Structure 1
Amino acid sequence: MKKICFLIIANILNYAFMKGQVSKAFPPQERVTNLMNEAMKTSDLPAVVAIAINNKQQKTTYTYGKAVWTEEAPVTVQHIFRIASMTKMVTSIAALQLVEKGLVGLDEDLSKLLPEMAMIPILSNGQLSQAKNPVTLRHLLTHTAGFGYRGATDKELTDFDYTHWTYKDNPRRFESGTQFLYGSSTYWAGKLVEKISGLDLENYFRKNITGPLGMNCTWFNVPDSLKQYIVSSGSRGADGKQPLKESPDRIPSTKVTDFRGDGGLYSTPEDYTQLLACLLAYGKAKKVQILKKSTILEMNKNQIGSIQIHNPDAFYNPGSCCNLNGITSPTAGWGLAWLIDNEDKAYGRRAGTVLWGGARNTYYYIDFKSGVAASIYTQHVPFNHPATTGLFERFSEIIYAGK
Structure 2
Amino acid sequence: MENVKKRYLEAHEDGYLPGFALMASSQDGDTVIFSGGKQSLNPNSANPFTENTICALASMTKLLTAVVVLQCIEHGLLNLDANVNVILPEVGKYDIITGWDDETNQGIFQSITTPITLRMLLTHTSGHAYDWFRPALKNWRASRGEQPWLGATVEQKATIPLVFAPGTQFAYGVGVDWAGKMVERVTGQTLEVFMKERIWEPLGMRDVTFWPKERGEFEGRMAGMNRLGENGEGRAEEVPGFDIGGGATDCLGGGGAFASTKAYFTFLQAVLRRDEKILKKTSWQELFRPQLSPELKAFFNEYLHADPLRAQYLAMGIPASITKTWCFAGMICEDAQEGRFSAGTVFWGGMPSMAWWIDGAVGTCGLATCQVMPPMCPKIMALHEKFQRAVFGGVGIAKSTDALQAQ
Can you give the 5+ residue segments of structure 1 that lack an aligned partner in the other structure? Answer: 1-31
1:210 to 2:206 alignment: no
CA positional deviation for 1:400: 2.0
1:123 to 97, 119, 139: 97
2:143 is matched with which residue? 163
Greater share of helix residues, 1 or 2? 2
2:238 to 216, 238, 246: 246
CA positional deviation for 1:397: 1.7
2:339 to 317, 340, 347: 347
Report the Cα distance in structure 2 between the residues aligned to 1:371 and 1:315, rounded to whole angstroms: 32
Report the Cα distance in structure 1 between the residues aligned to 2:245 and 2:268, rounded to whole angstroms: 30
1:83 to 28, 46, 57: 57
Listed one character per residue, the Cα deviations across residues 193-234 of structure 1 (whole Å, up to 9, x for unaligned) are 001111011111111112221211111101122131101221
- Runs of 4+ in structure 1 off by over 4 angstroms are 250-256, 315-318
1:96 to 2:36 alignment: no
Q: Alignment partner of 1:216: what SS?
A: coil
1:52 to 2:24 alignment: yes
1:313 is matched with which residue? 306
Q: Alignment partner of 2:208: what SS?
A: coil
Name the aligned partner's letter for residue 215 of structure 1. M
Residues 372/257 of structure 1: CA separation in 2 closer, same or farther (3 Å cut):
same
Q: TM-score, normalised by structure 1?
A: 0.84
1:139 to 2:120 alignment: yes
Report the number of matched residues. Answer: 365
2:190 to 197, 200, 208: 200
Is the Cα–Cα contact under 8 Å of residues 324 and 384 in structure 1 kept in the other structure?
no
1:326 to 2:317 alignment: yes
Residues 236/172 of structure 1: CA separation in 2 closer, same or farther (3 Å cut):
same
Q: Alignment partner of 1:189: what SS?
A: helix
1:41 is matched with which residue? 10
2:400 is matched with which residue? none
Name the aligned partner's letter for residue 25 of structure 2. I
Q: TM-score, normalised by structure 2?
A: 0.83
Listed one character per residue, the Cα deviations across residues 97-138 of structure 1 (whole Å, up to 9, x for unaligned) are 111112221111111111111423111123123311111110
1:172 is matched with which residue? 162
Name the aligned partner's letter for residue 128 of structure 2. F
TM-align CA RMSD: 2.5
Is the Cα–Cα contact under 8 Å of residues 232 and 378 in structure 2 kept in the other structure?
no
Report the Cα distance in structure 2 between the residues aligned to 1:332 and 1:251, rounded to whole angstroms: 32
Is the Cα–Cα contact under 8 Å of residues 360 and 382 in structure 1 kept in the other structure?
yes
1:389 is matched with which residue? 381
Is the Cα–Cα contact under 8 Å of residues 54 and 372 in structure 1 kept in the other structure?
yes
Name the aligned partner's letter for residue 73 of structure 2. V
Give the alignment of 1:245-284 within 5 angstroms. 245-249=237-241, 256-284=248-276
Can you give the 5+ residue segments of structure 2 that lack an aligned partner in the other structure? Answer: 101-107, 147-154, 396-407
CA positional deviation for 1:384: 2.0
Q: Alignment partner of 2:284: what SS?
A: helix
Residues 83/68 of structure 1: CA separation in 2 closer, same or farther (3 Å cut):
same
Name the aligned partner's letter for residue 37 of structure 1. K
Name the aligned partner's letter for residue 117 of structure 2. T
CA positional deviation for 1:156: 2.4
CA positional deviation for 1:243: 3.4
Residues 367/340 of structure 1: CA separation in 2 closer, same or farther (3 Å cut):
same
Report the Cα distance in structure 2 between the residues aligned to 1:254 and 1:92, rounded to whole angstroms: 22
